[in-house]
Amino acid sequence: MSKQFLGETAPLVPPIYQSSVYTIPDLDALDAIMNDGEPGFIYARDAHPNAKRLGQLLAQAETAEWGVITSSGMAAISAIVLATVQQGQRILASNRLYGRTVQLFTQELGRFGVTTEYVDANDLVAVEIALQKKPRLLFVETMSNPLVRVVDIAALADLAHKHGCLLVVDNTFATPVLTRPMELGADFVMESLTKMIAGHSDVTLGFVGGNDADMLPAINTAVSIWGLASNPFDCWLAERGLATLDLRMRAACKNAEQLADWLAEQPGVLRVWYPSRDDHPDLAVAERVLDGGFGHMLCIELEGGRDAVNRFMHAAPGIPFSPSLGHSSTTLSHPATTSHRYTSPAERKRQGITDGLIRLSVGVEALEGIQAEMAKGLA
Ligand SMILES: Cc1ncc(COP(=O)(O)O)c(C=O)c1O
């Protein structure tokens, strides 16, 4: 806003620039912005102040050189692929990923002549063998959705680079509070800001961070041309969420760790998946990769399959069935019918995503309240 209104004052909270287009003084000013990188905005699908600010803040949090905001987490993955992969090239991906990511790679990119191979990213020998086919990207989740399998990002980065491949890490479950993939050698980090970072289930956004300055124009071009851009209000909300991310994440991780141990003792719970526990296959990797907590996500396997899950939902309405994650209070989801609905039954079985599996996104409310509601559901 102009000096005429604000004088020497300025708002403590940044304004929402809810404008799809900007006014430009003349053609020379336009050229200076477009050709010479002078500050300024033209059209919100290309760039706008709220996204620019948020991108910078997140890049800082992720220790990346640059950051770009996208309309969703899926848009962030799309932007990376569109900026880096050519027709005929290959992607190597973890065989434990969010279901929509797998659909993007196999179903959508397959139509454009890109082949995706899936590998157990916790088996470094298998990864190295697969890298010999010279994929352009290796794509993994720091902590996988839903069974919170943790990968050794530094080891994967070394292997990928040895074979001329770029490592992309989806850090949505961990957030930069627990690990910063760029510090461990990733070439790109991406986040669904929809989850813990915005943190209040009222935003859909994504983030791409990187270090290679040459890649930034390609990402920006993909975001603009493929229509993956964010809107100002969501960016403003996400910036507000980011301010308390550290506090929320640490409180939620503490709750989740205690809840996981408590749940393991409860009747009707066949198995608990949480990476701080001795029975989690990746405890040792998690201790190396994560710092300050083991995450706010955990899974439990209920005795009695789908019927037991339905009974749990009716008996414990205080833990809403709400198929997302990262809300301020605890919610649950059912991966077999939501995030992995379009994954084949055989593949779900291989991953351990059974009909009795409940995924919990643990919030920051008092642990006793979560336990009391869980006890109702389990009874
Ligand atoms: C691990 C992970 N990555 C990416 C996404 C996609 O994010 P969005 O829903 O913001 O597109 C999700 C969504 O659930 C997710 O869980």
Q: Which CATH superfamily is domain 246-378 in?
A: Aspartate Aminotransferase, domain 1 (3.90.1150.10)
Q: Report residue 56 as tokens.
A: 């910078």
Find the mean pLDDT for residues 194-215: 98
How high is the pLDDT of residue 154?
A: 98
Annotated catalytic residue, options 149, 180, 195, 248: 195
Share of the chain above pLDDT 70, in %: 100
**Residue 4: which H helix or E strand, with range?**
helix 3-6
Ligand 1 midpoint to CA 31 (Å): 37
- 3 is known as an active-site residue: no
pLDDT at 257 > cutoff 80: yes
DSSP structure string for 301-366: EETTHHHHHHHHHHH-TTS-B-S----SS-EEE-TTTTTTTTS-HHHHHHHT--TTEEEEE--SS-
Annotated catalytic residue, options 17, 98, 118, 274: 98
Ligand 1 midpoint to CA 74 (Å): 6
Ligand 1 midpoint to CA 192 (Å): 5
pTM over 0.85: yes
CB neighbour list of residue 272: distance below 8 Å, 6 or more residues apart: 260, 263, 264, 279, 298, 299, 300, 301
Q: Give the residue whose CA is nearest to atom 10 of ligand 1.
A: 73
Pocket test for ligand 1, best of 98, 101, 334, 340 (most atoms within 8 A of CB): 98
- 306 is known as an active-site residue: no
How high is the pLDDT of residue 3?
A: 80
Q: Is 80 in the pocket of ligand 1 (CB under 6 A)?
A: no
**pLDDT band at residue 95 under the 50/70/90 scheme:** very high
Residue with tokens 């993007």: 104
Domain with CATH 3.90.1150.10 in the chain: 246-378
From the alpha carbon of 74, which atom of ligand 1 is closest? 11
- 43 is known as an active-site residue: no
Which residue type does 131 have? L
pLDDT at 377 > cutoff 90: yes
What's the whole-number average pLDDT of the chain? Answer: 97
How high is the pLDDT of residue 4?
A: 86
87-96 CB burial, b ≥16 within 10 A, e <16: eebbbbbbbb
Share of the chain above pLDDT 90, in %: 97
Find the mean pLDDT for residues 151-160: 98
Domain with CATH 3.40.640.10 in the chain: 14-243
Helix (H/G/I), strand (E/B), else coil: 123: coil
Give the CATH fold of the 14-243 domain: Aspartate Aminotransferase; domain 2 (3.40.640)
pLDDT at 227 > cutoff 90: yes
**pLDDT band at residue 1 under the 50/70/90 scheme:** low
Over residues 282-333, the pLDDT tens digits come to 999 999 999 999 999 999 999 999 999 999 999 999 999 999 999 999 999 9
- 45 is known as an active-site residue: yes
pLDDT at 224 > cutoff 80: yes
Q: Give the residue whose CA is nearest to atom 14 of ligand 1.
A: 324
pLDDT at 57 > cutoff 70: yes
Q: Give the residue whose CA is nearest to atom 9 of ligand 1.
A: 73
How high is the pLDDT of residue 152?
A: 98
Ligand 1 midpoint to CA 347 (Å): 19
DSSP structure string for 174-206: THHHH--GGGGT-SEEEEETTTTTT-SS----E
How high is the pLDDT of residue 221?
A: 97
